[in-house]
Amino acid sequence: MTQLILHDVTKRFNDAYAVDHVNLSVPDGKLVCFLGPSGCGKTTLMRIIAGLETPSSGSLTFEGVDLTRVPANRRDFGMVFQSLALFPHMTVAQNIAYPLRLRKTDSATQARRVAELLEMIQLPHMAGRLVTQLSGGQRQRVAIARAIAASPRLLLLDEPLSALDAKLREAMQVEIRLLQQRLGITTIMVTHDQREAMTLADEIVVMEQGRIQQIGKPLDIYRDPVNEFVADFIGLGNILPVTAAGDQIVLPGGQRLAMPASPAGRAPASGQDVRLLIRPEDVCVRTGERGAATNTLRGVVTFVRDVGVSIEATIDCEGFTLTAATTPRETPGLHTGMPVFAELPAHACKLIAARAPH
Ligand code: ATP
């Protein structure tokens, strides 16, 4: 069931669109990430949903009720911002109880709920500490507990992990995901980190310049990006400018590959310039003979990043550079200067439209 629906929402600041005709449905119980580069309008869209910003046009409904003009404090949404905005003069328990106090919940219920939430965030022994005496990760958990204390109808998280170091951030991503699934609370999270979005989201909304570029499950977007912007933004990718030539495509430098399958009616005409996307893990590196494999290119290894569990290799293919992901087991002894063959299996090659010039 769809809970939150945005109908043709725009937000203009002066003459510029921060949010440009956005239509979106957020399904019940799912975690949706707004993902995009700095300035693409993620926070503005989130603030419109929160009620902290009024759209210039368009509307939003929640469970069928129009919320467009309903103020933030009457929406019953829980929020966690990048700054966390915890009250420094209050203890952990007082911070968590704050939304319950605002609602004039009786003190016995408040105490029970706070105890429950402290258990849930695994900080029951820190109830009486000031939040200034907590670590970044602990503060993070308190902010989430406070946001969900009053059982909000929707949880909004705006870059809540950006102040944490990489390791803690990854651990908190898992915690947020498990908590969200356990509570089944519909959640929207803003992030500019594609890895974070891939880890957490049921659905990712990729934005650029105020517009939604693609909405989909993380792996669907990774495998089938609709355009060059999305392909480039989600994951590592080799995006090569190629030209169609009959049933082949010509790569920079002149090597050729078989024309990848295109959805019906979308095969490029001969001479047309398009982009070829192939993910590094799909590039198959051969260090010996060329073998019988088709779609195989000559190249020379120009860089090897071997981190033990995996190898990232850069291959100069006479006119362009490929990044390949492999393992020490698959390609033992791979080193800079080594001549190799790179197989680009036809099923892993995707043609996508070139990014329109800005
Ligand atoms: P970031 O990841 O850097 O936070 P974002 O994707 O969240 O970026 P927004 O903060 O939504 O982007 O900003 C979108 C655009 O709207 C930007 O060009 C920004 O400068 C502009 N903008 C946002 N708020 C205002 C405001 N109050 N007044 C004028 N322009 C604004």
| Domain layout of the chain by residue ranges | 2-228, 236-352
User: Cβ(42) to ligand 1 under 6 A?
Assistant: yes
Counting ligand 1 atoms within 8 A of each CB, the residue from 10, 12, 14, 40 with the most, and so the one to mutate, is 40
Q: Which pLDDT score, from 0 to 100, does residue 300 have?
A: 95
Q: Which pLDDT score, from 0 to 100, does residue 122 have?
A: 84
Question: Helix, strand or coil for residue 331?
Answer: coil
Q: How far apart are CA 115 and CA 131, in angstroms?
A: 16
Write the pLDDT tens digit of every residue in 49-90: 999 999 999 999 999 999 999 998 889 898 888 776 888 899
Cα separation values, 74 from 27, 66, 152, 168, Å: 21, 12, 11, 34
Atom 28 of ligand 1, residue of closest alpha carbon: 13
Percent of the chain surpassing pLDDT 70: 96
* Ligand 1 atom having least distance to the Cα of 47: 11
Q: Which pLDDT score, from 0 to 100, does residue 86 have?
A: 85
Q: Looking only at Cα atoms, what is the longest distance across the chain?
A: 77
Kind and range of the H or E element at 172?
Answer: helix 166-183
User: Cβ(73) to ligand 1 under 6 A?
Assistant: no
Q: Which pLDDT score, from 0 to 100, does residue 85 have?
A: 80
Averaged confidence pLDDT in the chain: 89
Q: Which pLDDT score, from 0 to 100, does residue 357 have?
A: 59
Q: State yes or no: pLDDT of 356 exceeds 70.
A: no
Counting ligand 1 atoms within 8 A of each CB, the residue from 44, 192, 233 with the most, and so the one to mutate, is 44
The CATH architecture of the domain made up of 2-228 is: 3-Layer(aba) Sandwich (3.40)
Counting ligand 1 atoms within 8 A of each CB, the residue from 43, 45, 82 with the most, and so the one to mutate, is 43
* Ligand 1 atom having least distance to the Cα of 14: 29
Atom 18 of ligand 1, residue of closest alpha carbon: 39
In 133-166, which positions are buried (b, 16+ CB within 10 angstroms) versus exposed (e)? ebeebbbbbbbbbbbbbbebebbbbbbbbeebee
Q: State yes or no: pLDDT of 292 exceeds 70.
A: no
Write the pLDDT tens digit of every residue in 202-255: 999 999 999 999 999 999 999 989 889 999 898 888 999 999 998 899 999 998
Of 185-194, 249-258, 261-270, the range with the lowest mean pLDDT is 261-270
User: Cβ(192) to ligand 1 under 6 A?
Assistant: yes
What value does the mean pLDDT take over residues 292-311? 89
Percent of the chain surpassing pLDDT 90: 52
Cα separation values, 234 from 20, 103, 171, Å: 21, 42, 21
Q: Does domain 236-352 have CATH number 3.40.50.300?
A: no
What value does the mean pLDDT take over residues 308-332? 92
